[in-house]
Amino acid sequence: MAEDLKLPHPEVIFEVKDRHPERESLLVYVRQFEGRVEAALFSRWKKRLRWTDCLAHAVFAKPGWADVSVHPGIKQDQAKLYMEAVSGMVWRSLSILAFAGDDKPRKVMPALRRPYAKAGVRGWTWHQVTIDLARARAKTQDLGGTHASPRWHIRRGHWRQLADGRRVFVRQCQVGDPAQGGVVKDYIVKGSAA
């Protein structure tokens, strides 16, 4: 992310299926402004068939940087999850669109327009983007290596999403074969935490 974000259109919606057993999908509504991009994260409940309040809001004003805030009703231990979801969905979606998407304009059916026209919504534009997974995989750089016998390294603690929707924390541990050599990573975070 060496450059400022550039949306394919002034307003974009990215929606993905949610693995959570009670939620149907996650949606990020993204808008391009002069000098920044803003995104709002929502979720759709399966049983209630309605959207949540805004769960997280992100402002992308510098390359590779997002200022994210979460809904005040979200517990502190869950805040990071929503922060990562809103920023990750935007960055990942834009990176996929950059090299693997084909944009095709579509027509909105009149039956869908009428209810919104009564509320004052005008000027419909619908673009359907087809993602070519084969093309996306071909563009992925092969970094080599294998999980069969990796070099010794410290695996950081992380959250893992299970198939049934539960999240479990995997503690930090040492993995790999020291005879193959070792890999040490350290991270430098620049800027203020404010």
What are the tens digits of pLDDT across the range 74-126? Answer: 888 888 888 888 988 888 888 777 765 666 777 777 777 777 777 777 766 67
Estimate to the nearest angstrom the gap between the alpha carbon of 32 and the chain centroid: 17
How many Cβ atoms from other residues are within 10 Å of residue 92's Cβ? 12
> Tokens 């970094």 appear where?
143
Residue 86: closest CA among 69, 98, 62, 100: 69
pTM of the model as a whole? 0.55
Phi, psi of 22 (to 5 degrees): -100, -10
What are the tens digits of pLDDT across the range 140-166? Answer: 555 555 555 577 777 878 788 877 878
